[in-house]
């Protein structure tokens, strides 16, 4: 068990180092975006003095290295800064310039919406993928196996926005079963929220199911030639019981990895789907903030995406170690 703890601590240290490197990349890339927030807000007719006053008020006149460490230090303490857009709006309406909406206040409800969408998608995609993968391995090279592979490969090869519009056409326009816009707001009942989330969740399900299904199928087929599987068959066990009871538990490590990667995608890769359905999640907030050059919000969204991806990969590594005796007790 000591070796497992050591491996987990090594993974944690590597994850923190990766997140630090990613934060440098995020800060550099975001600050290289063309355009200037102060100039964009004030327009082409703004005087240099007015532009410089807003830049100074927002701290944009400081050297990049100073702004980076201020941002990193605040992020470590849970302070992601203040939204530039909200600060500018407050000054225009004559409100107190110290009263500003923080980035955390903007992101919190959007992140909760994205997590809800990811949870609904996972509840649909993971069971469907496992069942299809097991059945495809059980009926290998059959019509069902080939049809499943063709269907999933077609869905994964199609752009997300194309799948989204196809589902809107068939499930919202030709057959008005689900709403085409996910206009979620605070105070909605769970049933209403679920109904407005189903269409983007189905789109994401089509995108991620292929990876998980094919990995489940490949991992199980790879184990079917093992001696202990042959022994189980000789004992008279049914093919389904052999797969579920003997093959599937030993195939968990690669399956867990691919599920974790796809769950990370459900949090970090939902930008296109949220924009198509106007879903009020963190992806939509990210796109809106890029348009108006709201740098603190863009940086915070990117950092959350990176942290979620690294955390879920770390979780996948730990679960793979715990599910594999050879990794738990390395020689």
Q: Which of 267, 301, 306 is nearest to 287 (CA)?
A: 301
Strand, helix or coil for residue 102: strand
DSSP state, 96? -
* Segments making up each domain of the chain, as ranges: 1-101+300-331, 109-291
Q: What angle do CA 15, 18, 24 make, to 5 degrees?
A: 145
The two structure tokens encoding residue 330:
């390395």
- The sign one gets for the Cα dihedral 109, 114, 115, 121 is positive
Say if residues 217 and 136 touch (Cβ distance below 8 Å): yes
The two structure tokens encoding residue 159:
């752009």
Long-range contacts of 189-193 (CB under 8 A, 24+ apart): 193/116
Q: What is the pLDDT along the chain (331 residues), one digit of tens a residue?
A: 567 778 788 888 888 899 999 999 998 888 887 766 676 666 666 677 777 787 787 777 788 888 888 888 888 888 888 887 765 444 443 444 445 678 888 898 999 999 999 999 999 999 999 999 888 888 888 899 899 988 888 888 888 889 899 999 999 898 888 888 888 888 888 888 999 999 999 999 988 888 889 888 888 888 877 888 888 888 888 878 888 787 777 777 788 888 888 888 888 778 889 999 999 999 899 988 888 778 888 899 999 998 988 888 888 887 777 766 665 555 5
Q: Which of 101, 70, 106 is nearest to 86 (CA)?
A: 101
Q: What angle do CA 149, 150, 152 make, to 5 degrees?
A: 65
pTM metric for this prediction: 0.83
- CA separation for the pair 179, 173 (Å, rounded): 9
The two structure tokens encoding residue 51:
């532009």
pLDDT of residue 143: 92
How many residues are listed for the chain in this entry? 331
pLDDT of residue 91: 46
Q: Distance of CA 174 to CAs 167, 192, 203, Å?
A: 10, 21, 17
The two structure tokens encoding residue 265:
């995608």
Q: What angle do CA 274, 181, 201 make, to 5 degrees?
A: 50
- CA separation for the pair 217, 220 (Å, rounded): 5
Q: Distance of CA 27 to CAs 31, 59, 71, 141, 169, Å?
A: 6, 15, 9, 50, 40
- CA separation for the pair 320, 331 (Å, rounded): 17
The C-alpha R_g of the chain, in whole angstroms, comes to 24
- The sign one gets for the Cα dihedral 245, 251, 253, 254 is negative
Report the topology of domain 109-291: MetI-like fold (1.10.3720)
pLDDT of residue 94: 42
């Amino acid at each position: 068990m000591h070796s497992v703890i050591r491996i987990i601590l090594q993974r944690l240290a590597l994850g923190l180092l990766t997140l630090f490197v990613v934060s440098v990349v995020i800060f550099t890339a975001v600050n290289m975006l063309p355009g200037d927030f102060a100039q964009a807000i004030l327009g082409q007719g703004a005087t240099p003095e007015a532009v410089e006053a807003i830049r100074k008020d927002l701290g944009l006149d400081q050297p990049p290295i100073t702004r980076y460490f201020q941002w990193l230090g605040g992020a470590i303490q849970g302070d992601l800064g203040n939204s530039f857009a909200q600060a500018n709006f407050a000054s225009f309406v004559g409100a107190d310039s110290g009263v500003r909406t923080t980035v955390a206040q903007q992101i919190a409800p959007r992140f909760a919406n994205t997590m809800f969408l990811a949870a609904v998608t996972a509840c649909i995609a993971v069971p469907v993928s496992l069942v299809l993968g097991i059945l495809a391995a059980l009926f290998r090279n059959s019509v069902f196996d080939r049809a499943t592979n063709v269907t999933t490969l077609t869905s994964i090869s199609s752009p997300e926005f194309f799948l989204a519009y196809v589902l809107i056409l068939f499930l919202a326009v030709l057959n008005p079963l689900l709403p085409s816009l996910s206009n979620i707001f605070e105070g909605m009942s769970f049933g209403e929220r679920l109904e407005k989330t189903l269409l983007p969740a189905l789109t994401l399900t089509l995108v991620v199911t292929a990876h998980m299904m094919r990995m489940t199928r490949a991992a199980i087929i790879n184990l079917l030639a093992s001696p202990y599987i042959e022994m189980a068959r000789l004992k008279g066990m049914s093919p389904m019981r052999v797969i579920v009871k003997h093959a599937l538990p030993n195939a968990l490590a690669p399956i867990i990895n691919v599920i974790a990667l796809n769950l990370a995608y459900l949090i970090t890769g939902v930008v296109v789907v949220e924009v198509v359905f106007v879903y009020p999640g963190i992806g939509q907030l990210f796109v809106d903030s890029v348009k108006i050059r709201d740098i603190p919000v863009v940086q915070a969204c990117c950092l959350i995406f990176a942290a979620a991806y690294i955390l879920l990969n770390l979780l996948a590594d730990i679960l793979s170690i715990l599910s594999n005796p050879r990794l738990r007790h390395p020689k």
